[in-house]
Amino acid sequence: MNRRDLFAGAAFGLALAATPALAQDESYTIGVAIPSATHGFMGGLNYHAQASIERLEATYPQLDFVLATAGDAGKMVNDIEDMVATRNIDALVVLPFESEPLTSPVQAVKEQGVWVTVVDRGLSVPGIEDLYVAGDNPGFGRVAGEYFAETLEEGDNIVVLRGIPTTLDNERVAAFEEAIEGSGINVLDMQHGNWNRDDAFNVMQDFLSKYDDIDAVWASDDDMAVGVLEAIDQAGRNEEMWVVGGAGMKEIIARIMEGDPMLPVNVTYPPAQIATAIELTALGLVSATPVSGRFIIGSQMITPENAEQFYFPDSPF
C-alpha cells in the first residue's frame, strides 16, 4: 500500500465514522519547504508558517510537521528529498525557491504518492500539484487603483513605482491602470523601483526633482514605500502627498492604525498565504473535505478601521 492509498483510505474512514475520532488513530507527517527569511516578505512568511504549524499541532495531535527553510534552490531540493527519504511525509507544502530547478524534484515526490501543495510561485510544468495557493496580482492593482480613483479629483497628479519587470508586475500595473481609467487622474511617470527600498528611494528622488505637484504615489509595495517616504521626507514635501504601498508590512500597518495622513490605506498580498496552504493541506488529511484545486487569496484594502486585523507585532514583517 503506497502513501496515496493510505491517504485515500483514511479520508474514507473518516467519512464513514463522521467524527474526527477515527482519523486520530492514523497519524500523518506534513513537510513544509520554504525560502529562508532573507527579506521582509519572506520573514513574514516564515513567521506565519511557524504559527500555523503550532496551531495545527495543538488542534490535531495526529499531525506532525517537518519545516525546512532554504537560501537557494539546491538546498530546497535536498530538503524535500530528505523529507521523503527519512520522514516518509504524506504531504508536501512548497513555496518553490525558483520554478525551474524545483519542478522535477517536486514531480518526483508527487509520483511517489505524496500530496503536493504549491504556494505563490508556480512550477514550470502545469498540473503537478494537487493544490495551488497564491495571492491575487490583478486584484492587488485593482484595489489600489479603485482607492486612487475614489479619493483623488480630476486633474490630480500621481507617480507610480513598479516592481522587477515580470508578468506579475505587469498584471498588477495593468489592473491599476484599468481601475483609474476615466477618473481624470494624471499619471506623471512610472519607473521600476524593483521592489527594493534603495532603488525606490532613487526613483522617488528623481520624481521629486522633476515634478513640483504630486498628489499621491502608488509605491505598489511596502519595501518601496519605505524608500519613497524617506525621499519625500528629505525633500520636505510630506504635506503635499500620500503614499500607498502594499503587502502589509507591520511598520506601515502600525502607521495606518495611528491614522497617519501620509499612509491612508494599504492592500494585502499576505505572507500568511503560507498558513492558508498548510491549513488546507492538514484539513485534507484529518477530514474528507475536498481541498484540491486552486485558491487565489483576495487582495483586501487595509484601512485605519480594520488595520489591527492585519497587524502581527511578533512577525518580522
Shortest approach of its own copies to residue 302 CB, angstroms?
11
Q: Distance of CA 13 to CAs 16, 80, 92, 158, 290, Å?
A: 5, 29, 22, 59, 15
Nearer residue to its own copies within complex by CB, 193 or 248: 248
Residue 112 touches its own copies, criterion: CB under 8 A: no
Task: Return the residue matching grid coordinates 534552490.
Answer: 73
Q: By C-alpha distance, which of 123, 99, 128 is closest to 112?
A: 128
Nearer residue to its own copies within complex by CB, 28 or 242: 28
Residue 165 touches its own copies, criterion: CB under 8 A: no
Binders of its own copies among residues 246 to 275 (CB under 8 A) are 268, 270, 272-273, 275
Position 286: which residue type?
V
Binders of its own copies among residues 54 to 73 (CB under 8 A) are 54-55, 58-59
Residue 312 touches its own copies, criterion: CB under 8 A: yes
Residue 90 touches its own copies, criterion: CB under 8 A: no
Rounded to whole angstroms, the Cα distance separating 207 from 201 reads 10
Using CB under 8 A, pick the residue from 25, 150, 181, 308 that binds its own copies. 308
Using CB under 8 A, pick the residue from 4, 75, 121, 192 that binds its own copies. 4
User: Within 10 A of 260 (CB to CB), how many other CB atoms are there?
Assistant: 15
Using CB under 8 A, pick the residue from 90, 120, 136, 222 that binds its own copies. 136
Residue 24 touches its own copies, criterion: CB under 8 A: no
50 φ, ψ to 5°?
Answer: -60, -45
Please name the residues in contact with 314: beta carbons below 8 A apart, sequence gap of 6 or more: 47
Measured CA angle at 280 (ends 278, 281), to 5 deg: 65
Using CB under 8 A, pick the residue from 183, 254, 287, 316 that binds its own copies. 287
* 36, 39, 44, 49 alpha-carbon torsion, rounded to 10°: -10
Using CB under 8 A, pick the residue from 27, 73, 295, 316 that binds its own copies. 295
Shortest approach of its own copies to residue 139 CB, angstroms?
8
DSSP assignment string, 205-227: HHHHHH-S---EEE--SHHHHHH
Rounded to whole angstroms, the Cα distance separating 216 from 202 reads 17
Piece of the chain touching its own copies by CB under 8 A; list 6-14, 69-77, 169-177, 235-243:
6-14
Using CB under 8 A, pick the residue from 8, 164, 184, 209 that binds its own copies. 8
User: Within 10 A of 238 (CB to CB), how many other CB atoms are there?
Assistant: 12
Using CB under 8 A, pick the residue from 166, 234, 238, 292 that binds its own copies. 292
Shortest approach of its own copies to residue 283 CB, angstroms?
6
Q: Distance of CA 298 to CAs 231, 282, 295, Å?
A: 31, 21, 9
Residues lying near its own copies in the complex (CB under 8 A) are found at 4-5, 7-9, 11-12, 15-16, 18-20, 51-52, 54-55, 58-59, 130-131, 136, 268, 270, 272-273, 275-276, 279-280, 283, 287-298, 300, 305-306, 308-309, 311-314
